[in-house]
A and B are shown apart, each in its own frame.
Chain A
Amino acid sequence: MKNTIRAALAAAALLVPAVVQAQNLRIGLREDPDILDPTLSRTYVGRIVYMALCDKLFDINERLEPVPQLATGFRWENPTTLIVTLRPNVRFHDGEAMDAEAVRYSINRHLTMQGSFRRSEISEVDRVEVVDPLTVRFVLKTPSASFISALTDRAGMIVSPRAAEAAGRDFGARPVCAGPFRFVERVAQERIVVERFPEYWDAANIHFNRVTYLPIPDNTVRLANLQSGAVEFVERMEPDDMTTISRNRNLRAVAVDELGYQSLAINVGNGERANTPLGRDPRVRQALELAIDRAAINQVVYEGMYTPTRQPFPPANPFHVRAFAPTERNVDRARALLREAGVTTPFPVELTVPNNPDLRQVGEVIQAMAAEAGFQITLRAMEFASSLQAATRGEFQTYLVGWSGRVDPDGNIYTFTRTGGGQNDGRYSNPEVDRLLDAARVELDVDERKELYAQALRLAFGQDIGRIYLWHRKNIMAHTARLSGYRPISDGMIRLQGMRLQ
């Protein structure tokens, strides 16, 4: 009898660690994600949820290099043929095998599905071939230096072909992938719940039973949720929250450099509004740049937390050009340039600002600084959706606009700077810059490619001033001190592998 009790107690003791392991994590998101279908989704915040649901062929590490995830490795057979080997014994949440056929299906789905937002990210793919169950061959139309990094994001997410076929366009209501957690439920604007997938290939690194994503848009309230223990992790806080967080012994804040930038887009060729000395004469634009003190804006509005810049590539990016440093403020030189250009001061310029408190404040600081150099800036605060439309139509002179950033440098510059580029709202155009950007796209040698970008930066932003880059933001993440194992990576994603609660 005594032995039975002892055995029972021993068994109970063995069960304790399992109970401790059964942890739940709650994450406060800044926005509510859109549809959860890797082919159809568009939002940044949605990608944070995919970190739980959908593994990709490759992930990125702290140095933004591709590392194997569902793939085990890759090699280029020739500049347009890529061989990717796959991880054996990987299962989707519905029990189906993740194999070469599934990869071929998913990539083709990205390429052909109506409404796909992945098509433009991997448009260089000509076809995908199954070599054997664990080997895929990607045949590209042209060499592509950015192709692997496309596979580290949504375009590299592999969905269960059976589930995708069955659900069709409603797949996003119940996504089935091969990530560490499987979908449980979603209540729009309220929560997204996922639970541990026991057959995950890397299950030993997963220490939560359930993860709940709660969209809490208001910054103060998101922080209050963390402070009161209603969530364990919050993302994208503001620089002035740092003091509150660091004063609290139970909380930790992590500031990670972002992949993108904030900039001043200038209309140099999009319709009537470009037809001013600012749009026609690079000297006037240079004067505007010299009038702005990036470090001071950063101090005044962002507590000095951000990184002033003159280029689209943040310091965390291997393609950051260190020699292309931000210009110093020089009011005398700015005034001289305006005189040289023959404009009469005060010279009127309109600055379109998305209607957020911090960006409006930035606009006011720029207004005051530029006034000293002879610019008379009028601020036009617009709701974000309207400002984007105005920019596309050329209804702006200068526009304070940011970009969330991509791992590959091409994603931060090409569409904004090349002639005819989709987000080149100011219609900047320089054939030599176009040649350099096109060459960099297909240059597989990293050092050669770096040099091409360095030349393009000097021409487009050192000489022509087609756009004035201002700073790189930081993703400010905060979590309870009980949480460990969060890996800060510039893409701002929350990777659940290795994270645990004490």
Chain B
Amino acid sequence: MGIWLLRRVGQIVPTLLILSFLIFGLQQLMPGDPAIILAGEERGDPAVLAQIRAELGLDRPVWQQYLIWIGKVLTGDFGFSWRIRVPVSELILTKLPVTFQLATMAFIIAILIGVPLGIVSAIRKDTPADWAANGTALFGISTPNFWLGIMMILLFSVELGWLPPSGYVPFFEDPVQSLATTIMPAFVLGTNVAGVLMRHTRAAMLTALSQDYVRTARAKGLAERVVVWKHALRNALIPVVTLGAIEFGRLLAGAVLTEQIFTIPGFGKLIVDAVFNRDYPVVQGVVMATALIFVLLSLLTDMLYMAINPRLRQA
């Protein structure tokens, strides 16, 4: 176990290094000169452009830019945003709690809706309950987030006046307001993930329910409740946990459209704005941070497997 963990952690460093190389390289392929964007309406003045390039080191060869940047990153310095001159690490740290709160709320909503629906539709396969659950999932997966978001804003904020239409209040500043500002985006994101979770729970449950051990359990005369909960569900959960971790990672990477609609200042909005403004240090910093989150999450998932399935602990 200890060696396994050490090996997994050791893999993180080369993964991130390769990624840093990729993100830097891909950025060079992006059309649009950052100096022209930064110059704004002064873009016509070659002196201004030259000055910006010199200040930001854009006049150096790409490999030098990369080495300078990665050297600083290794010492924990992610540079500063070209657009608003704020340290990138500070930006990431202020956005991370926002995205984390939103992702967690959305994930809870997704589990609360998706998993029970999946179980019910598996147990009651080919009944009206199954069809209704499938319909709900289909709705969740196929409704575009921006549409659902705008409809919710128009209904709950403009028509009914129950919830603030957009913005964000930090949880520790005012928990009630914080929940009020995040419940709509969390629901929008959650329904989407719920649909995916429902379909996978249903498939996994159906597989599990058709296994020999379930037949044996039933033959032993165990109550159906025990068969479903203890024998089938526990085994069915493994693929669902994997998927859940991936979905949670995706939520943490920022929900671009949803954050844009609800003006939630999270990761998604940060990176999209940074890309459009060619604010490279922010793009690089956020991608690296997101990658780190993903890697850590997959590590956590593997550890969760072991908790659920004792057989894996021996490997």
Q: Which residues of A approach B to under 8 Å, CB–CB?
A: 32, 34-35, 40, 42-43, 114-115, 117, 120, 169-170, 172-173, 187-191, 214-218, 220-221, 224-225, 227-230, 383-386, 388-390, 392, 403-404, 415, 421-424
Contacts and interface: CB of A to CB of B under 8 A. Distances in A.
A32 B86 CA distance: 14
B166 A35 contact: no
A418 to B, nearest CB: 11
A224 B265 contact: no
Contacts of B150: 220-221, 224
Contacts of B277: 385
A33 B51 CA distance: 22
Contacts of B157: 224-225, 227-228, 230
Interface string B158-178: 100100111110000000000
A42 B46 CA distance: 16
B166 A216 contact: yes
B158 A228 contact: yes
Given A188-B91, A214-B263, A230-B164, A224 B84 contact: no
B94 interface: yes
Contacts of B263: 214-218, 221
B83 A35 contact: yes
B51 A423 contact: no
Given A221-B153, A385-B36, 11 more contacts: A35-B85, A115-B52, A172-B85, A214-B167, A225-B167, A229-B161, A230-B166, A385-B278, A388-B37, A389-B36, A392-B33
B84 A190 contact: no
Contact of B43 (A170, A228, A388): A388
A114 B161 CA distance: 49
Interface in B275-295: 276-278
B24 interface: no
Interface string B32-70: 110011111111111010011001000000000000000
Contacts of A386: 31-32
Nearest to A220: B150
- 7 nearest A-B residue pairs (beta carbon): A422-B44, A385-B32, A42-B40, A423-B44, A386-B31, A228-B157, A189-B265
A173 B90 CA distance: 13
Given A189-B273, A224-B154, A422 B165 contact: no
A190 B32 contact: no
22 contacts: A34-B83, A34-B84, A35-B84, A40-B85, A42-B41, A115-B51, A120-B42, A120-B45, A187-B94, A189-B273, A221-B262, A225-B165, A230-B157, A383-B276, A385-B36, A388-B32, A388-B36, A389-B32, A389-B33, A422-B42, A422-B43, A422-B45
A43 B273 CA distance: 14
B31 A114 contact: no
A225 B270 CA distance: 21
Nearest to A416: B44
B199 interface: no
B260 interface: yes
A13 B42 CA distance: 55
A413 to B, nearest CB: 13
Interface in B241-277: 260-263, 265, 269-270, 273, 276-277
Given A218-B263, A230-B166, A421 B55 contact: no
Chain B CB within 10 Å, residue with most, of A383, A384, A421, A422: A422
A228 B270 CA distance: 26
B111 to A, nearest CB: 28
A215 B164 CA distance: 15
B50 to A, nearest CB: 12
Chain A CB within 10 Å, residue with most, of B45, B158, B261: B158
B166 A225 contact: yes
Interface in B73-110: 81, 83-86, 91, 94
A220 B42 CA distance: 31
Nearest to B56: A115
B4 to A, nearest CB: 41
Nearest to A221: B166
A111 to B, nearest CB: 13
Nearest to B279: A34
B265 A188 contact: yes
Contacts of B154: 224
Nearest to A384: B276
A227 B156 CA distance: 12
A68 to B, nearest CB: 27
Contacts of B269: 189
Contacts of B153: 220-221, 224
Contacts of A169: 85
A117 B48 contact: yes
Interface string B196-217: 0000000000000000000000
A138 B137 CA distance: 71
Contacts of B44: 415, 421-424
Contacts of A220: 150, 153
Given A115-B51, A115-B52, A224-B165, A170 B260 contact: no
Given A173-B86, A224-B165, A227-B158, A218 B261 contact: yes
Chain B CB within 10 Å, residue with most, of A43, A114, A217, A389: A389
